[in-house]
Amino acid sequence: MISRLSLATAITFVAFASTCFAARPNVVFILADDLGYGDVRCMNPERCKIATPQMDRLADEGMHFTDAHTSSSVCTPTRYGILTGRYNWRSRLQSGVLFGFNEPLITPDRLTVAGFLKKHGYHTACIGKWHLGLGLPTTDKNSVRGRNPQNVDWKGRISGGPVDLGFDYYHGISASLDMPPYIFIKNDRFVGEATAIKEFHPNRKGPAHPDLEAVDVLPKIGRQSVQYIQQQSADTPFFMYIALTSPHTPIVPSDEWKGKSELGEYGDFVMHTDAVIGQIVAAVDASGFAENTLIIVTSDNGCSAKPSKADELEKQGHYPSAQFRGYKSDLWDGGHRVPFIVRWPAVVDAGSKCDQTICLTDLMATCAEAAGAKLPETAGEDSVSFLPALRGQPIVSSRKGVIHHSIGGKFAYRQGKWKLLLTKGSGGWTKEKQSDNAEAQLYDMEADPGEQNNLYSSHPEVVDQLLAQLKSDVNRGRSTDGPERSNDVPVRLKSPIAGKTRK
């Protein structure tokens, strides 16, 4: 016979368990490609001339972050940081990006956000651009080489991709839309065969599916995302990583969006991107589980100056980097400070704003806390939960600062209002340099968010402090509390003020 006390305890336990399960939010993470901080009206109300009603509405219904950063100012490394909670430069990729035929960057033993959530009852899906390398099958025993290889087995199994790294489902392309192969992948197989040759970027001719056209890819990613959401039920939480191919090159807005921005094709493509984001959000709203779905919209780095024709946009009053200096590839904030909009009706107050500094590596720890689970000490070494910020509270962090990284492998360190750049110039594609010719740069980001007044020579004590912390974060293999870890390769800070190669 069950006593009243034990029965009451059992009922309480069941109710508690049910509450915990129901509290686990769905997570829809939407990553735009090369969308600048200033390209979104709600982020840059004074100097944005592109209409972005869908992202603006999402911000009105949730929260926007004014100081969110990617772990790198270019594509591949940022994506590594998002999915692993670990800085990209701890991997073999010390500079640049991967291409469509490169080997996987994430090692099989590395826990990803998807793999972690899958272990805790989530269904996980990746839709869109991967750009983290794939183990492509070949018709011989040789590896795939170059951008137009002849030995790809279009019927073989692809290894080392999303479905081998924690995702239950994948539908997308191998890299950027301007990198071959130009063919869709579903789970671990190509969708058809790349029997044609196409070129979506100068000097990047390569194998393509005969039916794939660049203008069709963004709409298809939107449709695939909507269909996946429509197939979910309230019984099982899900995690979606939706990596859009826009407004990255090729800049190909569909006919219905051409001319809409009156700023040229880039403005039109941003508007098209905004519309696709709106379609995905609308599918969540129609699902019946929007209240407990955490939607995040952000970008993998800043706007790319040359293909967007940023100089012409600025002449028309539109500033893709808002008040910040630099563009994609750079260490200046225009390269890695990105729009970051969150909606979660059950938790986030509508129309709220957060000025706390976060990094996209923080997705992993945030998802873990939201799911009521604890990350192992061997994962997410550079990830801090920003869940308190969503509740209007201070972020509690053992990480002293945030590390920035450029396409050229240059480092910067941000702690509070201070930012130290271990380079004379941008560290990226922007050719502008400091007029004072100092060997590094130091800025007060509160007084000088445009990074114009270099304080490197006048504040040596701040330089020493930030440099020491940067070196510690590099050498410890992690920037958060926990046992020391090893970087995959020796990490070189590439600066005369940084000393010798360290690991």
The domain that holds 462 is classified in CATH as 3.30.1120.10
- For residue 137, is the peptide bond before it cis, meaning its omega torsion is within 30 degrees of 0? no
List the one residue out of 7, 31, 87, 100 whose CA is nearest residue 478: 87
Q: Give dist(CA 137, CA 101) in Å, integer.
A: 11
CA dihedral 187, 192, 195, 197 (to 10 degrees): -60
Which residues constitute the domain of residue 428? 402-475
| pLDDT tens by residue, 69-105 | 999 999 999 999 999 999 999 999 999 999 999 999 9
Whether residue 166 is found in the same domain as residue 258: yes
| pLDDT tens by residue, 345-392 | 999 999 999 999 999 999 999 999 999 999 999 999 999 999 999 999
Whether residue 378 is found in the same domain as residue 430: no
**Which of 390, 423, 455 marks a domain boundary?**
390
List the one residue out of 446, 352, 404 whose CA is nearest residue 42: 352
Q: What percent of the chain has pLDDT over 90?
A: 90
Q: Give dist(CA 363, CA 296) in Å, integer.
A: 10
| pLDDT tens by residue, 271-296 | 999 999 999 999 999 999 999 999 99
- Mean pLDDT across 54-81: 98
Look at strands 68-69 and 123-129 and give their pairing: unpaired
| pLDDT score of 500 more than 70 | no
Whether residue 192 is found in the same domain as residue 79: yes
| pLDDT tens by residue, 296-332 | 999 999 999 999 999 999 999 999 999 999 999 999 9
pLDDT of residue 499: 64
Query: Is there a domain that residue 18 lies in?
Result: no
Query: Is there a domain that residue 11 lies in?
Result: no
| pLDDT score of 23 more than 80 | no
**Which of 367, 390, 413 marks a domain boundary?**
390
Q: Give dist(CA 284, CA 465) in Å, integer.
A: 46
Query: Is there a domain that residue 484 lies in?
Result: no
Using alpha carbons only, give the angle 336, 339, 340 rounded to the nearest 5 degrees.
110
179-213: string of b/e by CB count within 10 Å (b at 16+)? bbbbbbbebbebeeebeeebebbeebebbbbeebe
Our measurement of the distance from residue 106's CA atom to the centroid of its chain's CA atoms, rounded to an integer in Å, reads 15
- Return the bridge partners of 138, or none: 152
Joined tokens for residue 132: 């983290």
Q: Give dist(CA 363, CA 385) in Å, integer.
A: 7
pLDDT band at 434 (very low <50, low <70, confident <90, very high): low
**Which of 390, 416, 447 marks a domain boundary?**
390
Whether residue 366 is found in the same domain as residue 281: yes
pLDDT of residue 3: 41
List the one residue out of 362, 275, 324 whose CA is nearest residue 452: 324
pLDDT of residue 437: 81
Instruction: Count the domains in the chain.
Output: 2
List the one residue out of 137, 147, 132, 213 whose CA is nearest residue 179: 147
Contact 389, 356 (CB under 8 A): yes
Whether residue 223 is found in the same domain as residue 307: yes
List the one residue out of 259, 323, 289, 228 whose CA is nearest residue 30: 228
Query: Is there a domain that residue 14 lies in?
Result: no
| pLDDT tens by residue, 156-205 | 999 999 999 999 999 999 999 999 999 999 999 999 999 999 999 998 99
Whether residue 350 is found in the same domain as residue 447: no
pLDDT of residue 101: 96
Whether residue 56 is found in the same domain as residue 88: yes
- Mean pLDDT across 477-492: 97
Contact 80, 488 (CB under 8 A): no
Whether residue 53 is found in the same domain as residue 182: yes
- Mean pLDDT across 110-131: 98
The label of the residue with tokens 């050719």 reads 431
Whether residue 150 is found in the same domain as residue 275: yes
| pLDDT score of 46 more than 80 | yes
Look at strands 418-421 and 26-32 and give their pairing: unpaired
Whether residue 170 is found in the same domain as residue 229: yes
| pLDDT tens by residue, 233-273 | 999 999 999 999 999 999 999 999 999 999 999 999 999 99
Contact 441, 362 (CB under 8 A): no
Using alpha carbons only, give the angle 39, 70, 174 rounded to the nearest 5 degrees.
90
| pLDDT score of 7 more than 80 | no
Q: Report the CATH number at residue 167.
A: 3.40.720.10
Q: Give dist(CA 124, CA 111) in Å, integer.
A: 14
pLDDT band at 494 (very low <50, low <70, confident <90, very high): confident
Q: Give dist(CA 325, CA 313) in Å, integer.
A: 15
In the 8-state DSSP scheme, what is residue 144?
P
Residue 197 phi/psi, 5-degree rounding, is -120, 125
Whether residue 326 is found in the same domain as residue 364: yes
Query: Is there a domain that residue 7 lies in?
Result: no
- Residue 15 identity (one-letter amino acid): A
Whether residue 379 is found in the same domain as residue 431: no
Write the secondary structure of 231-271 as one string of H (helix), E (strand) and C (coil): CCCCCCCEEEEEECCCCCCCCCCCHHHCCCCCCCHHHHHHH
99-110: string of b/e by CB count within 10 Å (b at 16+)? bbbbebbbeeeb
List the one residue out of 355, 479, 496 whose CA is nearest residue 424: 496
